[in-house]
Structure 1
Amino acid sequence: EVRMGKGKGNVEYWVSVVKPGVILFEVSGVSATAAREAMSLADRKLPFSCRFLSREELEQY
């Protein structure tokens, strides 16, 4: 949003820098199978590759 008369246009899009190794989503309260399936569907929508890690895998990582 911009006040009128300032010569600036509306924001066209938003950008967020995400560095490698950052946890984007945490899932709790569902089975590991359901969580893995949900994250697989979300991964297809994101413009970068993602990896699904369980808590046990994260501790080893």
Structure 2
Amino acid sequence: MKLIFDVSDKPKAGQLVVFALQQMLAILAATIAVPLIIGNGLTPASAMFGAGVGTIVYIL
């Protein structure tokens, strides 16, 4: 299986789904882990809300 892609290469549809799930789980784990480690009254729900608002602002 080819795991190195050039700029003009595109992974197959199945690989794209796996890569997207991997990215989503990594981001989700990091977003939830930071408030749990730091504390200071920040909850995972507020971190997820902030990430969502940041995403919407970035898209607009």
- TM-score normalised over the length of structure 1: 0.32
From the two aligned structures, give the one with the greater helix fraction.
2
Normalising by structure 2, we get a TM-score of 0.32
* Structure possessing the higher relative contact order (Cα contacts under 8 Å, 6 or more residues apart): 2
